[in-house]
Structure 1
């Protein structure tokens, strides 16, 4: 009778980053990539001079969400690295921009995706990088 190592047979990390719950995560990142990028494009093209810092940060957020989406969709070692770096930048960004937008509201006359810790998006930008990093860690090789 063969001995089965249950810990390796049922490890969720053997699955791809974009399978199961990862598909939902990929979909949410895709939606945020589209919405943050579109928001930044409209803001920058219509009234950039009103709040250049906020609008440029919205563009950065859009690029980070695009990179995270690509990394999660790609999978494999390179995709994991792209997703890991993107989610880490996202977490730092939402914490720093969220704090600065509360402490120095004058510097942020208009909201970004990460302003007030993503309150304009139901705080999803605050929660999403934690879930993304957990998912990447859980599916490490």
Structure 2
């Protein structure tokens, strides 16, 4: 059963949201492919880094699908995924700079996404803004996806 978008607001996957969904899809593929190769060929070299890259890829997949669907439940899932992503970028970014030895190889979120031109840092902020901008009428001042 597919979820239908809320008709009282702009769908999250329409207009500029299409670009957002496309960027998330590209990041899901890039992070997933990178993590897959690293885990399959060099996992023992940096297990934490490669596992975090796989987690990032999973979060990107979840965000992509949730933003594309745009229904009430999908908005909540997207809000959660984007929040986890932002927290991950901030935590891993900080830890990777504070203790570089813990990250002998970079993750998608290392150095706040420096290896990806800081897009991993900016992307969840843009996504959360888009969820707020497209929230259904009458949603009040609560963040999109919460009630």
TM-score w.r.t. length of structure 2: 0.86
Deviation at 1:50, TM superposition (A): 0.2
Which structure's CA Rg is the greater one?
A: 1
Q: 1:85 aligns to what?
A: 80
Q: Deviations over 1:57-98 (max 9, x none)?
A: 000000000000010111110110111010000000000000
- Describe how 1:65-84 pairs up with structure 2 within 5 A: 65-84=60-79
Stretches of structure 1 lacking an aligned partner (at least 5 in a row): 1-12
Measure how far apart 1:41 and its partner are. 0.3
Partner residue, 2:134: 139
Q: 2:21 maps to which residue? A: 26
Q: Which residue of 2 aligns with 1:10?
A: none
What TM-score comes out, normalization by structure 1 length?
A: 0.90
User: Does residue 17 of the first structure (1) align with residue 6 of the second (2)?
Assistant: no
* RMSD value, Cα: 0.8
The aligned counterpart of 2:37 is 42
Task: Return 13-22 or 58-67, whichever deviates more.
Answer: 13-22
In the alignment, structure 2 segments of 5+ residues that lack a partner are 1-7, 137-147
Cα distance in 2 for partners of 1:117, 1:31 equals 18
